[in-house]
Amino acid sequence: MALSLERLGKYDPKDPQKNRLTDLGPRHFWQYFPPVIQNNYGKWAYHDVLEPGVLVHVSETGEKVFTVRCGAARFMTVQHVREICEIADKYCDGYVRFTTRNNIEFLVDSEAKLDALKKDLQGRKFPGGSFKFPIGGTGAGVTNIVHTQGYIHCHTPATDASSMVKSIADALFEEFQGMNLPAKVRVSMACCLNMCGAVHCSDIALLGYHRKPPIIDHEVIDKVCEIPLAIAACPLGAISPDKTPEGGKTVKIKQDRCMFCGNCYTMCQALPLSDKEGDGVTILAGGKISNRISMPKFSKVVVPWLPNNFPRFPEVVENVKKILNAYAQGANKYERLGDWAERIGWEKFFEKTGLEFTEHLIDDYRLAYDTWRTSTQFKYTDAAWNVSKAAGGID
């Protein structure tokens, strides 16, 4: 068996069904488990985080496995993967795994191997100076940022993913290598509100957002789109059928009803909406997945829009840090960001983070009423005094 070097390999375009193998599925997982994992599968007794990025799991058999977790850019070239393989061969009998947040984990079965592995990983850098394999991402810190394709591969983004993630991860690097927070903080990023990934359920989430309605390409729309699908794609019913002056089929968009989600463009290429000045970043906060203490929560919009200031997104970085710092100072041990915000009240969240509260943050979609405050229970903040003043209640 060998990889083919023929231009079309074993594929014969004249007889495409010949020798076709289908429905094989993935390779079976067992063959990729290191021996220590095979031997102790289902027998683990407990684990410890020895230091940021380093775990030990102890089996009922007494065997131990040490894990070194390293950050990764998720985007990687074959050259980088080959370097991962080289490290795996050198220290881990050729085995390596990746986490559900796209970190890399190297597993060894002794402390002697662990020390050599750590030292090697810490010494590897790209020529530009960034770490190739920074160790961290465990415990009560900030781990890798789950993210999307952005301008590298997608047609519907309102921002870029890899560059924003690199900028945020650089700014929060100490938190990746530390465990100084009240609880873990999951940061995630999506480049449009399809929210591929985890934006709707993360402690801090960054979301690409448009602010201009689509431009209608009347000339081609009836040739390239199935118009009813574009109409049905709108959550707010802003799109309806229309005729061009020449009598061709097209659509019209009630611009004041459009909230720029871009779903009609997903369905119809004649409705592009990306725009340099319009597009930017929304920040959400307070979501979680786990059932620990409180139930899972959705993230809430806390910053309606910040500019796409490529390549470093300074405004986004600054706002993320504001949220993280206020949380780190205010929350109790084990309290996730959303638990903290709910305990102190969102009015205090805005006061403590210094984020501005604008009308964009008040829900006005369908079940919006459930998010308004139908109670006299609130805390006084400057924002509350401003309302009292505006209403003529105080001087």
Partner 1 sequence: MRIYSDEELNNYTEEELKNFKIKHDIPDLEELEKGPWPSFVSDAKQGALHRRKLADDRMLIDRDVIEDMLGQLQVSFDDGETHWKHGGIVGVFGYGGGVIGRYSDLPEKYPSIAHFHTVRVNQPASKFYNSDFLRTVCDMWEYRGSGMMNLHGSTGDLVLLGTTTEQLEPIFFELTHELGQDIGGSGSNLRTPSCCIGKARCEFACYDTQDLCYELTQYYQDELHRPAFPYKFKFKFDGCPNGCVASIARSDMSFIGTWRDDIRIDQDAVKGYIAGDFIPNAGAHAGRDWGKFDLQKEVLDLCPSKCMKYEDGVLTIDNAECVRCMHCINTMPRALKPGTDTGVSILLGAKAPILEGAQMATLIVPFMKAEAPYDNIKEFIEKVWEFWMEEGKNRERLGELMQRFGLPKFLEIMELPPAPHMVKTPRENPYVLWKEEDVPGGWTRDIKEYRTRHKR
Closer residue to partner 1, CB minimum distance, 45 or 387: 45
Residues 177-206 that bind partner 1 (CB under 8 A): 178-182, 184, 193-201
**Residue number with CB closer to partner 1 (41 or 378):** 41
| Of residues 277-306, those binding partner 1 (CB under 8 A) | 277, 279, 289-296, 298
- Asked if residue 205 lies in contact with residue 324, where contact means CB atoms within 8 angstroms, the answer is no
Name residues contacting partner 1, limited to 202-231 (CB under 8 A).
Answer: 229
Name the residue nearer to partner 1 (CB basis): 8 or 390.
8
Whether 288 and 203 have beta carbons less than 8 Å apart is answered as yes
Q: How far is the CB of 107 from partner 1 (least distance, A)?
A: 8
Based on the shown chain and the rule CB under 8 A, indicate whether residue 84 belongs to the binding site for partner 1.
yes
Site residues for partner 1, window 107-136 (CB under 8 A)? 107, 126-134
Contact status, residue 345 vs residue 193, Cβ threshold 8 Å: no
Tell me: does residue 78 bind partner 1 (CB under 8 A). Answer: yes
Distances (CA, A) of 161 to 51, 153, 191: 30, 10, 6
Stretch that binds partner 1, among 251-259, 318-326, 363-371, 374-382 (CB under 8 A): 363-371
CB of residue 179 vs partner 1: minimum separation in angstroms? 4
Provide, rounded to whole angstroms, the least separation between the CB of residue 195 and partner 1. 4
Closest CB to partner 1 among residues 208, 346: 208
Binder of partner 1 out of 69, 113, 137, 141 (CB under 8 A): 141
Peptide bond preceding 311: is omega within 30 degrees of 0, i.e. cis? yes
Among candidate residues 178, 173, 272, the one with its CA nearest the CA of residue 221: 272
Place of tokens 């209640």: 393
Of 64, 118, 138, 209, which lies in the binding site for partner 1, with binding defined by CB under 8 A?
138
- In whole angstroms, the minimum distance from the beta carbon of 343 to partner 1 comes to 12
By CB under 8 A, what part of segment 13-42 binds partner 1?
13, 16-17, 19-29, 31-34, 37, 41-42
Q: How many CB atoms lie within 10 A of CB 70?
A: 25
Best CA proximity match to 37, nearest among 114, 109, 112: 109
Minimum distance from CB of 221 to partner 1 (Å)?
A: 12
Question: Is residue 79 a contact residue for partner 1 (CB under 8 A)?
Answer: yes
Q: Label residue 164 exposed, middle or buried (CB < 10 Å: 0-12, 13-18, 19+).
A: buried
Contact 298, 201 (CB under 8 A): yes
- By CB under 8 A, residue 375 contacts partner 1: no
- By CB under 8 A, tell whether 362 contacts partner 1: no
Per CB under 8 A, the list member of 116, 233, 344, 361 interacting with partner 1 is: 233
- Please check whether residue 185 is in contact with residue 101, taking contact to mean a CB–CB distance below 8 angstroms: no
Residue among 68, 121, 140, 238 that touches partner 1 (CB under 8 A): 140
Distance CA 173, CA 288 (A): 21
Consecutive H or E run containing 339? helix 337-344
116 or 196: CB nearest partner 1:
196
Dihedral pair phi/psi, residue 327, rounded to 5°: -65, -50
Map the footprint of partner 1 across residues 40-59, applying CB under 8 A. 41-42, 44-52, 57
Stretch near partner 1 under the rule CB under 8 A, chosen from 114-122, 247-255, 264-272, 382-390:
264-272
Stretch of 169-177, 237-245, 352-360, 371-379 contacting partner 1, by CB under 8 A:
169-177
Q: What is the smallest separation between the CB atom of 305 and partner 1, expressed in angstroms?
A: 14
CB of 246 to partner 1, least distance (A): 24
Task: Quote the Cα angle for 200-135-124, to 5°.
Answer: 125
* N- to C-terminal Cα separation, the chain: 85
Q: Are 161 and 198 in contact (CB under 8 A)?
A: no
C-alpha distances in angstroms, 59 versus 33, 44, 66, 313, 373?
15, 4, 12, 45, 50
